[in-house]
Amino acid sequence: MSVEGLNASQQRLGPPLPLAGEGWGGGVSATEVSMDDDKPSWTVSPKLRSNARALRQSSTDAERILWSELRGHRLLGMGFRRQAPIDRYFVDFVCHAAHLVIELDGGQHFSTEGEQRDASRSAVIEAKGFHILRFANNDVMANRAGVLETIAAAIAARAPTLTLPRKRGREKDLNQRKES
């Protein structure tokens, strides 16, 4: 549509509002940004990447059930990744926004050796700032709702919250009402 086709009120409005997340500009245009200059500060080796892919393809029944509830921002709108590398370990599920790791443990984790390995692994992951929730595979299979409630409570406690700015002049209105 050309400018001539617009009526006078539409011509005065100016450009359309930006889409969500685009802002009003002031930055560099997309053509001026080179993707080669903006490489991420972390790297995942090709070996770790292929190991993670293999773990995702051979997931347990409990992992598949829980992933069906977590994927696609289905739980409180939070994004999860599965079989993600953290340091030299792979975690079953991670929510980076809440710094939360979820581990599902099978029978091998309940032996003395398994508990020692889990403790040293947890220390490394927690040193990176993550909180770890551990569930037995049987818990996911028998009590899915309870597991999801526990995860939701941990997210609510750890996820950043957005605070809305106070309305201007509201304090004046409240003070005037108190004086009246």
Identify the CA nearest to 134 among candidates 103, 162, 110, 158.
Answer: 103
Higher local confidence (pLDDT), 91 or 176: 91
pLDDT digits (tens, 9 = 90+) for 45-99: 777 777 767 777 767 888 999 999 999 999 988 999 998 888 888 899 999 889 9
Residue 17 has pLDDT above 80, yes or no: no
The pLDDT, as a whole number, for residue 16 is 55
pLDDT digits (tens, 9 = 90+) for 34-43: 444 334 455 7
Sequence spans of domains, the chain: 60-158
CATH for 60-158?
Answer: 3.40.960.10
Specify burial of residue 142 (Cβ count, 10 A radius: 0-12, 13-18, 19+): exposed
Give every CB contact of residue 137 below 8 A, 6+ residues apart in sequence: 60, 61, 62, 104, 105, 106
The pLDDT, as a whole number, for residue 113 is 81
Average pLDDT score over residue span 6-26: 51
pLDDT digits (tens, 9 = 90+) for 122-142: 999 999 899 999 999 999 999
Residue 33 has pLDDT above 50, yes or no: no
Q: What is the pTM for the complete model shown?
A: 0.61
Residue 176 has pLDDT above 90, yes or no: no
